[in-house]
Structure 1
């Protein structure tokens, strides 16, 4: 049993997956592998159902859920060209 609290160990991740149809979906999770599996089995977000398989193309990690969810919202506000620059490593 660990002495640390779960918040000390939890990594909050904002991710972008590319769907089979070439569209992007941005989300938040604490377990990227589990979340991608959920998307690919149809139990993830409604948007990704029917657009499987999805593949992770971008991630950012944060220490707090609040920071990660704020960034998720900001990324969702970006237009496609801005998301493409972010995914490719250019600054968005």
Structure 2
């Protein structure tokens, strides 16, 4: 599995407890249709047994199995303490 965690994301996650979940989230358009996009949250999943668990030296990631080997990058952005995680490199799925 290839996943990169940027230093910015690693620092922010460590302040939030060192655990993150990367999962697919369905989005629906106003005229129908659906797309699943990858999202990251600074918390463990509700059902950890459904995820691939990755242990790093200073954090734990739970990744949706459908996102394994997608070449993901987990990063954080924002300012004045209002940061959030985001995922790059994950294709939209239907």
Between structures 1 and 2, the one with greater helix share: 1
Please report the TM-score for the alignment, with normalisation by the length of structure 2: 0.30
Higher relative CO (Cα under 8 Å, sequence separation at least 6) belongs to: 2
